[in-house]
Structure formats: C-alpha cells, structure tokens
Amino acid sequence: MEYSRWTTTDDKQTVDLKKLIAKRKNKLTMDDWITAMQSWGIPADKIAELSGTPIPGDLYYEISVRQERVAKAPEQILYNTSDI
C-alpha cells in the first residue's frame, strides 16, 4: 500500500500544481512557490517547467527568512539542578 502511494504521489502533486497554475493564470506568487516546494515537495525546476515562468531570484532567500522567523529560541534553564 505504501509503495502504491509513493509511486502516485508525484502524479497527484503535479495535478494539484497544474490546478493552482490555472487558477492563478500562470502567475504564481512567492507563497505559491514556497507552498509547492515545501508542502508538496515539488522541485523549483519542475514548477518553472510546468508554469512556464522562471524561478524567482529571491526564492531561496525568502524560504530561509521564513524559516528563521519560525525557529524557536532554545529553552532557557532557570535553575541549575545538576548537583541534585
């Protein structure tokens, strides 16, 4: 069952991307690019090929900036309990 899901995942994601491209009339926003790459696992080259648009120059920069915003700060230890 897992193998059949694995083999059909790319087809389903491609169909979803084509629907999004049609909905946006071949003009994908930065959010669309990031969603397709991170949530659907579609490489940027494939998105550019299907949409007929070049990869945005700041795509990877925007992804890194968004990941930094989401990253949590390390947990602060209030008391040293190592000697207990």
Cβ-based neighbour number of residue 33 at 10 Å: 21
What pLDDT does residue 14 have?
87
Those residues of the chain that have pLDDT short of 50 are: none
Instruction: Determine whether 63 is exposed, middle or buried from the number of CB atoms within 10 Å of its CB (0-12, 13-18, 19+).
Output: middle
How far apart CA 45 and CA 28 sit, in angstroms, is: 14
Alpha carbon distance 42, 34 (integer Å): 10
Q: What is the structure's pLDDT at 10?
A: 80
pTM over cut 0.75: no
Q: Identify the pLDDT of residue 13.
A: 87
Domains of the chain, by residue range, sit at 2-69
